[in-house]
Structure formats: C-alpha cells, structure tokens
Amino acid sequence: MGGVVTEYFRLHNAEQLYESIGEASPSVYYLFIGKTAPHTTDTVGNAPTPLNTVTDTTYDPWPSMIAMKRVNEADERFLTKRYDWANNTFFEEYNDRTVGLDDKRFYVLQNDDFNVYKVIDNNSGANSTVKPTGTSTDIISTSDGYRWKYMFSLSSAERNRFMSPDFIPVKKIDTDDSSNQFSVQTAAANGAINHIKVTSNGSGYFAQSGNVVAANSSAVTIATTAAANDSFYVDSTIYFKAGKGLGEIRRIIGYDGSNKIVTVNGAYTTATIANTQTQYVISPRVVIKGDSGQTTTSLAKAYVSNTAGGQVRKIDIIAAGLNYGRANVAIVANSSYGSGASAQAVMSPPGGHGSVAYKELYAKNVILNAQMVGPEGNTLPTNNDFRTVGIIKDPLLRNGQAANVAIIDQCFRLTLTNVSGDFTADEIVTSSESADATGRVVRFSNTNAARTQGILRLTDVKSKGTGLLYTLNSTITGANSGVTATLSAFARPAVREFTGDVLYWEQRDKIERDASQTESLQFIAQF
C-alpha cells in the first residue's frame, strides 16, 4: 500500500519541540559546557566523536560538566533553508500542486533589507532581474514580471544569533508585536487565489484594447479598430484597466460590429460608467468555479492580459477572492476564435499567504541559541576553556525538584582555609584522606585580602576506597602547584548527576573563556 509522510508531520515534530519550551508547563532545556582537560588527541580538528551508546550519551558528559544555561522562548527560532536573491536567477513560483515544494527555491532573502519574499508568479518561468523591495501586505509586482509576497524581516539580533549560510530563522508570532510580520499575518486572506497559471496556451486567441468612446449602464462603445463582425466578442470579457471604472469586468452578451457597441451582462453603476479616459481590454473569459460545498465570502476575478501570437500567455488577478478550498479555471472564448487554452488556480496555503510564515516556508528545523556572557554574575569561571557542549532536557536539582533557574554552576565547590598559594587551572588535587580521592581544578577564587581563604571549583571528582575528596578538615593538595589548604565546607553540583535526558553531546576543539567574551551556543534540530 502506498503512503507518504507529509512535510506537515515533520513540521509537527518541530512545533512540538518549539512549543515545549514556552508552554504553560514547559519542558526545561539547558545548554551545557564542560571538559577543561585536553582530549587524548588534542590537536586542532581531531576532537573525538562520542559513540551513540548508553554510556557515552547518558553518563560520560556529567563528570566534566562545568555549567548549564537555560534555553528560553527568546532563544529559539524555526529554521528554513536559505535562498538569497541574485540577479538573473530563476526562482520557483509557489504552487500548491508542486511535488517536493519544500526543496524548491520559491522564496528569497533580499540581503539589502533582509526581507523575505515568497514568489507568487515567476513570469512563466523567467529569471528574476529586479530585486523585490518593500513591506506592503499586498502582492508586490516588479518590472521583470515577477510578483512577490512580503513575509517578514530579519532584525540584526536575529541575524547574529540564528542566521547561517544555510538557514534563515522564522519567528512564530502569536500576539501583536507591532512588527511587519504581524501585519502580514493579520492581512492574510484565507482561500485566496493570488495566481492563475496558464498550463496550455491554445491557439487562435486575440485581445482588443483601446479607449472607451462612449458608455452607459449596460453598453460600451469601443474603438473604431474593433472587429466589424456582429457577435464577434460575445462570451469574452471587457475589463476597465485604467481610468474611470478601474477594475470593473463584465461578460459580453452582445456586440454590434457596425457601431462598435458592446452590451454587457450586468449594469454599471453611475460611479463606474466609463468615459473617454477609460482604457479597456476585451479578451477571453476566465471562469473560476469553486469545488462543490465551498462557501466563499468574496469571488475571485481574473482576465487574460496577454494573447501574443494568438496564445493565452498570461492571466492577471483582479480580485483574489476568499475562502476557496479548491477551484477550477476555464478559458472561454467566442466559438469563432480561440481554443485549447487551459489554466490552474494556485490556491493559497490555509489561512492565506503570510498567515503562518514558518509553515509556509517549511521551517521544519528548530535552532536553540543560549549565550553565556562572561562570568554570568560571578557564577561561571572565565579563566579556563571547555571542549564539550550539549543539550539536556528536564534535569533535576539536588533536592529532586525540576531545575528551572537561568544559570547553573555544575562544579563541585570546596570552601578552603589555610591556603598556601594559588591553585592552577586543570591541575589535579588530592585529599589527605586518600590518594585516590581526586578532582580537576576549574578555578580557584580567593575570598580574603590575605589570600588564605577561597572557593575551589572542581570537575572530574573521583573517589576510591574509603577516602572522599570532600571529607571535612582534610588537607587538599595541588599536584602541580604544591598548594595546600584545609577543607572547611563543600557543595555538590546544583544538578543531580545522570538526571534528565542528554539530547545532544559534542566534543570539539577547546574554546577559551574570558570575562569580556560571550559564547553563543547554537544547536539545530533537523526533522
């Protein structure tokens, strides 16, 4: 039996991750750093790759862990593929019937303004030569024949935190934030038909255009260059493309070839009766019919705007309509001319173009970006490096409660007195209780002017036999520095080891920390 896993299933998975961070009872995610000690092979580019075993992914990240930073709603975005606008480049137009649309370049990032636009019409497959600009909620037309839908803009902060050569971020907006994106969402028209694609050009068609000679509520006298045959234009449409009555379109039900008088199927109002300044186009009729059961609050209207070479080349939208589900399009002309043309109504996504940007652009990836800013209020060490990064979900505090604070110091913290000097970073310290009770120095901070007291932060704490590194009143000795001190108090890491789920763990080349430096930790979940 045939079947397909839709892109909406992948979007659903991305949504579940995204929403789990900001919902009322959220899952709690932390980005963590660790491992100040060199890898076994610590040359650049040779960091070992963890194995996907229970030991590697559940236990190994914990002993060397230094700190955790919570991920908040502001730290996440949906991600979609990046396609930059470039001159003389072909871009796919949005089409609800295109197979594999998620892999097509049907939207662009305009790198001058960092606006994102969706391609509504690519001028029958032409290259784009005029970059789209502006933030209008209406469809934007450029002189190269392309039509675009502005979607949203990327702020400098979003570009710095979330954009890459391969991806652009897409923000999910649920409430009015005064952004252009929210304006686009609000203006989106559900079930609108913003493009009708010609699928077969046919032959024998033509259009007639000019300025109105005279008009009343039901008849229009057209240019002397019009056909002389009676009934020649019957079943075509007459459209006012400029001047008084702009936008009005009627079906032609009668034509007097001698006097060039067109009779239409519906009366014009006084306000829209054309005059000699009005430009008209007579062309094959575009009939748009919705599927049975469809209820529209506004009907779509269109006309054939180009019949070069006797073929239907282009159809322009007059009114996009509302609330169509599916629609069929027919090209109708007088039996005396034109046949074989066909067209397809391109349906907007549910809610309309721009209503849900991340879904429309297939942003089925989620980026998490947490920043560690210098010492984070003297919580984190800044005089050492780290070599592992990862993400963990729903860890527990030492008391068994769910962790929910912003920043966590995950080091063992020994309070020392009688300190004889300064411990050095990364050296091993031992306890007088046992030579097998050891730990690795992350940082030592003096707490008095005489420099005889301080806090020693450790990772990789190990104990064998009966002796513990943190036995009170024991002597702590640095293996390299020779510094000694007396242990007066200790605190275990804030988060209980081996709790929560390690979702990602990476070993990498060392990254130096500095008090004036910000580390931006970035993870992309691709579905």
User: What average pLDDT score do residues 423-450 get?
Assistant: 93
pLDDT at 7: 86
CA-based torsion, 8, 14, 15, 17: positive or negative: positive
Query: What does the pLDDT read at residue 46?
Result: 85
Tell me how far CA of residue 366 lies from CA of 6, 25, 520, in angstroms: 18, 20, 16
- CA–CA–CA angle 463, 466, 467 (5° rounding): 55
Q: For position 166, what pLDDT does the model report?
A: 96
User: Is the pLDDT score of 454 beyond 60?
Assistant: yes
Max Cα–Cα distance, the chain, nearest Å? 117
Radius of gyration of the chain (CA): 35
Average pLDDT over residues 397-404: 94
Q: Are residues 209 and 267 in the same domain?
A: yes
User: Does residue 505 belong to any structural domain of this protein?
Assistant: yes
Containing structural domain, residue 173:
79-189+353-365
Do 381 and 427 belong to one domain? no
Do 436 and 422 touch, CB atoms closer than 8 A?
A: no
Same domain, 33 and 109: no
Give yes or no: residues 206 and 63 share one domain.
no
State residue 79's pLDDT score. 97
CA–CA gap between residue 453 and residue 456 (Å, rounded): 10
pLDDT at residue 278, as a whole number:
97
Tell me the pLDDT band of 375, cut-offs 50, 70 and 90.
confident
Same domain membership, residue 327 and residue 244: yes
| Helix (H/G/I), strand (E/B), else coil: 389 | strand
Q: Residue 106 in contact with residue 119, Cβ under 8 Å?
A: yes
Q: Which of 376 and 239 is assigned the larger pLDDT? A: 239
User: Which pLDDT score, from 0 to 100, does residue 517 have?
Assistant: 86
199 three-state secondary structure: strand
**Same-domain status, 247 and 322:** yes
Element spanning 157, H or E: helix 156-162
The fraction of the chain above a pLDDT of 70, given in percent, is 98
CA distance 428 to 452: 20
Question: Is residue 2's pLDDT more than 80?
Answer: no
Tell me, what DSSP letter sits at residue 47? Answer: P
CA 385 – CA 379 distance, rounded (Å): 15
Closest Cα to residue 75, out of 22, 114, 26, 24?
22
Strands 434-446 and 428-431: antiparallel
Strand-strand pairing, 29-34 and 327-332:
unpaired
pLDDT at 292 over 80: no
The answer to whether residue 1 sits within a structural domain is no
- Helix, strand, coil % over all residues of the chain, rounded to 5: 10, 40, 50
Instruction: Provide the sign of the torsion angle of the four alpha carbons 102, 105, 109, 111, taken in this order.
Output: positive
Q: Count of residues for the chain?
A: 527
Burial of 112 (0-12, 13-18, 19+ CB in 10 A): exposed
**Across all residues in the chain, what is the average pLDDT?**
93
Chain segment 149-173, per-residue pLDDT in tens: 999 999 999 999 999 999 999 999 9
Residue 295 binned pLDDT confidence (cut-offs 50, 70, 90): low
Report for 55-59, 323-327, 440-444: range of highest mean pLDDT: 440-444
The yes-or-no verdict on residue 466 having pLDDT over 70 is no
Nearest-angstrom CA–CA distance, 91 and 149: 13
**Residue 463: per-residue pLDDT:** 80
**Are 513 and 376 members of one domain?**
yes
pLDDT at position 66, please? 94
Please name which of 142, 146, 262 lies closest in space to residue 209, comparing C-alpha atoms.
262
In CATH, what number is assigned to the domain containing residue 382?
2.60.340.10
Predicted confidence (pLDDT) per residue in 334-364, tens digit: 877 889 999 999 999 999 999 999 999 999 9
**Is 341 part of a structural domain of the chain?**
yes
Contact call for residues 334 and 235 (beta carbons, < 8 A): yes
- Whether residue 1 is predicted with pLDDT greater than 70 in this model: the reply is no
Nearest to 393 by CA among 20, 7, 2, 11: 20
Residue 103 per-residue DSSP state: G
Q: What per-residue confidence (pLDDT) applies to 291?
A: 73
Q: Is residue 527 part of a domain?
A: no
The burial class, CB within 10 Å (0-12 / 13-18 / 19+), for 291 is: exposed
Q: What is the DSSP string of 218-268?
A: SEEE--TTS--STTTTTTSEEEEEESTTTT-EEEEEEEETTTTEEEESSPP
Which pLDDT value is given to residue 42?
76
Q: What is the mean pLDDT of residues 420-437?
A: 92
pLDDT band at 306 (very low <50, low <70, confident <90, very high): very high
What does the alpha-carbon distance between residue 300 and residue 139 come to, in Å, rounded to a whole number?
Answer: 15
Mean pLDDT of 380-388: 88
| Cβ atoms 159, 127 nearer than 8 A | no
Are 158 and 49 members of one domain? no
Q: 386 and 341: one domain? A: no
The pLDDT assigned to 117 comes to 98
The verdict on 282 and 391 lying in the same domain is: no
In degrees rounded to 5, what are phi and psi of residue 309? 65, 20
Would the pLDDT of 297 be above 70? no
Stretch 35-64: mean pLDDT, rounded? Answer: 89
Q: Facing residues of 369 across strands?
A: 522
The rounded Cα 129 to chain-centroid distance in angstroms is 25
Q: Which residue has the higher pLDDT, 200 or 527?
A: 200
Considering its fold, how many domains does the chain have in total? Answer: 4
pLDDT tens digit sequence for 469-484: 888 999 999 999 999 9
Residue 131 covered by a domain: yes
pLDDT over 90 (residue 41): no
Query: Is the same domain home to 207 and 261?
Result: yes
44: left (phi over 0), alpha (psi -120 to 50) or beta: beta
Q: Is the pLDDT of residue 294 over 80?
A: no
Flag whether 37 is in a domain.
yes
Whole-number Å distance between alpha carbons of 517 and 157:
17
The band of 273, judged by pLDDT with boundaries at 50, 70 and 90, is very high
Three-state secondary structure call for residue 78:
strand
Residue 2 lies in a domain: no
What does the pLDDT read at residue 478? 97
Of the candidates 445, 451, 450, 410, the residue with the CA atom closest to the CA atom of residue 425: 445
Same domain, 422 and 477: yes
